Amino acid sequence: MTINIKKYRIHFVLLIVIIFLGIMAFTQGGWDQVLAGIKDGLSILLQELPLLAAAFLTAGFLQALVKKEFITRWLGREAGLKGILLACLGGGLIPGGPYAYYPIAGALLKSGAGLGVLIAFVTAKNLWSVSRIPLEFAILGTTITIRRYLITFLIPPLLGLLAEWFLGGSITKIEENAQQ
């Protein structure tokens, strides 16, 4: 029984958030608003299905293709700065929202990537994101975009290094935790 509860812990957390948001929607506009929220979520899900399918396939084939030794050498704990820089590059180049890059990060975690590498990957996706640059220039203008990139440029590798340095040893626990 305890195993079951552990297995569905994240489901419970998300469900509580949904109930909380549902109540907020209800107080704002009754059942119509609740229904509108559900409809909105489902339509975005439907719209993103092709992207989700590609993300899950990429995650699966990455795991199937990449040999454990390769991950250990290039993205594991021993890879050091090399692995973190590689992860930054990958994160910066990969397109799509969180439902696209987290399945891929999860595949890397399962295959033996280090904590610093994973933190660098996600942070670079969030801060370097190449696919976002044209939009950022177009909407926010040159000044904001260039200054924002300049200021946050070093953060992905730096955060990866710090994470690896201080918490790198906890990667086994993190992997077990993600498997549940």
Partner 1 sequence: MSSATIILWCITAVLLLFSWKAGPETVNRGFHLAWATTKQNTLLIFLAFLIVGFVNILSPQELVKSWIGPASGWQGIILAEFLGMLLPGGPYVVFPLIAILFQAGAGLAPIITLITSWSTQSLLTIGFELPFMGWRFTLIRWGMGLLIPLAAGFTAVILWG
Looking at the Cβ atoms of 81 and 154, the one nearer to partner 1 is 154
Question: Shortest CA distance to 105 belongs to which of 155, 50, 160, 154?
Answer: 160
For residue 10, the minimal CB distance to partner 1 (Å) is: 5
Candidates 51, 72, 80, 86; binder of partner 1 (CB under 8 A) is 51
Cα–chain center distance at 51: 14
Q: Does 115 sit near partner 1 (CB under 8 A)?
A: yes
Binders of partner 1 among residues 118 to 147 (CB under 8 A) are: 118-119, 122-123, 126-127, 129, 131-132, 135-136, 139-141, 143-144, 147
Q: Does 15 sit near partner 1 (CB under 8 A)?
A: yes
Q: Does 148 sit near partner 1 (CB under 8 A)?
A: yes
Q: Does 161 sit near partner 1 (CB under 8 A)?
A: no
From the list 15-23, 69-77, 78-86, the region that binds partner 1 by CB under 8 A is 15-23
Q: Does 30 sit near partner 1 (CB under 8 A)?
A: no
Question: Shortest CA distance to 99 belongs to which of 50, 66, 134, 136?
Answer: 50
Q: Does 88 sit near partner 1 (CB under 8 A)?
A: no
Q: Which residues in 154-171 are b (16+ Cβ under 10 Å) and which e?
A: ebbbebbbebbeeebeeb
Candidates 6, 69, 152, 165; binder of partner 1 (CB under 8 A) is 152
Candidates 75, 79, 88, 163; binder of partner 1 (CB under 8 A) is 163
Compute the distance between CA of residue 37 and CA of residue 26 in angstroms, rounded to an integer.
10
Candidates 3, 5, 31, 50; binder of partner 1 (CB under 8 A) is 50
Question: Shortest CA distance to 84 belongs to which of 30, 122, 58?
Answer: 122
- The pair of structure tokens assigned to 116 is 């610093």
Candidates 6, 13, 165, 169; binder of partner 1 (CB under 8 A) is 13
For residue 1, the minimal CB distance to partner 1 (Å) is: 20
Q: Please name the residue that has the structure tokens 């929607």.
A: 25
Q: Please name the residue that has the structure tokens 């305890």.
A: 2
Mention every residue, 6+ apart, whose C-beta is less than 8 A from residue 48: 97, 99
